Structure 1
Amino acid sequence: MRLLVIEDEAPMRTALVETLKAEGYRVMAAADGISGLELACTESFDLVLLDVMMPGLDGFALCRDLRKRERTMPVLMLTAKGQVDDRVEGLDSGADDYLVKPFSLRELLARVRALLRRKERQDSVGSELVIGSATVDFEKRVITRGGTRHEISEKEAGMLRLLATHAGETVSREKFLDVVWGYHAYPSTRTVDNFIAALRGKLEEDPSRPRHLVTVRGSGYRLEP
């Protein structure tokens, strides 16, 4: 696995690189946002560890730029800014998870492993998924059904990937929040229900009587292709 560390503080950058290499990862590093963005766009990485507070190009802007360029590798943000609004801004900019400094190296490595496992599951689904009369194009983030195209968000695509990797099994609301959102940013699992309702409107012929995104009462949701 190839990892990229983008961190402007030399002691922290060195500690991260040495810790990750000791775990067997191949690691490259950048000391500022501009050179980090260039590396992330020209090299292939399985994960980016990204500091937020950097001169020139901060982590929020860098992550948004990555996503605009359709670079889909997981991004783990590392920052001293721990307010809820900061975490939400980080995730809304395209990050997959958020770790507040100071943090333990054990927790950092656990988050890295979790994000890499998630990436492997996503890669196993492929770029297209057929659900009933609908086709999901994950690369373009589009659902096509009956000649009509519906755009889907990154979170909606993540939910469909998770359902596809557990086809025929029940996925709990808590698991959606953990895997797709990366942390419990919302006070209620009702968020998952709202996203499922939106997906049903794009996937199902009759959203009021879903055949493919099935509710498992008291547990979560199941995908029936």
Structure 2
Amino acid sequence: MANNRILLVEDDQNFGDVLRSYLEMHDYDVTLAKDGVEGLESYKKGHYDLCIFDVMMPKKDGFTLAREIREKDREMPIVFLTAKTMKDDVLEGFRIGADDYISKPFNSEELLFRIHAILKRSQTKAELKDEVKEFSIGKYHFNFPLRILTFAESGEEEKHKLSPKEASLLKMFAQNVNDILPRSEALSKIWGEDNYFTARSMDVFVTKLRKYLRRDDNIEIVNIHGNGFQLLVKSDQEA
């Protein structure tokens, strides 16, 4: 089993090197970036299981970096490191969606325990989410293992056999109904990379899914400019 990958963004080079070495001694695969700008570039290029951000950094602070990553991935565990103990900073961190907040100086073993707990919680959440194999989407029923999308109304039934990528994309939409599905999250999980060509490919697959779902007027896949897509499913009362 591969080691958990951690993105560590810390502007104090000495402290960052020491912390990276300590985490690597405990079997974590660590990428170290020296500021928020470099941290965002590292995030875009790699796949990580957890992020650790210093708050006060040049070019881009940890809070700003976390907000930008949250736009792309709502599930990524994020831990803030800071020398400040101001209550407002702690609250701001949790408002952004921090999983934990540790003030310097801290006990190294405590950090390890917290990282382990966060990763275990994140993995359990992902496993529970992935256990669901069948979905109701408006007037449609979607069987993911069989890749069959069925429309049923008043005794009428219409079935579509989806391709593997169509099924994987529809599953992600179904898991996030009425929420924004970040384009980068879908591309990295289904296509394995996020670039111009895979993005254009995803647009084609979204168009296909819109066609499959067109018989239910309460269903719409909308483009959220600069972010991703949203599968909107209205109830009969809302329609």
Regarding TM over 0.5, the answer is: yes
**Deviations 1:90-134 (Å, cap 9, x if unpaired)?**
11112211001110101111111111111111121125859xx89
1:124 corresponds to: 127
Structure with higher Rg: it is: 2
Q: Give the distance between the partners of 1:88 and 1:32, measured in 2 at CA.
A: 22
Contact kept, 8 Å, 1:7 with 1:30, in 2: the verdict is yes
Query: Offset at 1:73?
Result: 1.8
Is 1:91 the counterpart of 2:88 in the alignment?
no
Identity across matched positions, percent: 39
Q: How many residues were matched structurally?
A: 146
Q: Structure 2 regions of 5+ residues with no counterpart?
A: 139-169, 181-239
- Partner residue in 2 for 1:17: 20
Provide the rounded CA distance (Å) in 1 between the counterparts of 2:72 and 2:79. Answer: 18
User: Counterpart of 1:88 in 2: which secondary structure?
Assistant: helix
How far does residue 69 in structure 1 lie from its aligned partner after superposition? Answer: 1.7
Provide the C-alpha distance between the structure 1 equivalents of 2:7 and 2:176, rounded to a whole number of angstroms.
32
Q: 1:31 aligns with which of 34, 51, 57?
A: 34
> What is the alpha-carbon distance in structure 2 between the residues aligned to residue 23 and residue 92 of structure 1?
30
Counterpart selection for 1:74 from 55, 77, 83: 77
Q: Aligned partners of 2:176 and 2:49: how far apart in 1?
A: 26
Q: Give the 4+ runs in structure 1 shifted more than 2 A.
A: 126-130, 137-144
Query: Which residues in structure 2 correspond to 1:30-179 (within 5 Å)?
Result: 30-70=33-73, 72-127=75-130
Amino acid at match of 2:15: M
What do the CA deviations read for 1:132-180 (whole angstroms, capped 9, x no partner)? x899x99669776xxxx5x59xxxxxxxxxxxxxxxxxxxxxxxxxxxx
Distance in 2 (alpha carbons) for counterparts of 1:42 and 1:28: 11
**Contact persistence 2:70–2:76 (CA under 8 A):** no
Deviation at 1:82, TM superposition (A): 1.4
Q: Distance in 2 between matches of 1:142 and 1:24?
A: 32
Cα RMSD after superposing both structures: 2.8
Please state how far the C-alpha of 1:50 moved relative to its aligned partner.
Answer: 0.7
Q: Verify the 8 A CA contact 1:134 1:143 in the aligned structure 2.
A: no
CA distance in 2, matches of 1:56, 1:141: 38
Structure 2 residue aligned with 1:216: none
Task: Find the aligned partners of 1:143 and 1:4 in 2 and give their Cα distance.
Answer: 26
Cα distance, 1:35–1:138 mapped onto 2, change above 3 Å: farther
Q: 1:124 to 1:142 in 2, by over 3 A?
A: closer
1:4 touches 1:49 (CA, 8 Å); kept in 2?
yes
- Which SS does the other structure have where 1:55 is aligned? coil
Q: Is the 8 A contact 1:78 1:101 kept in 2?
A: yes
Write the distance in 1 (CA, Å) between the matches of 2:172 and 2:57.
Answer: 30
Preserved CA contact (<8 Å) 2:137 2:174: no
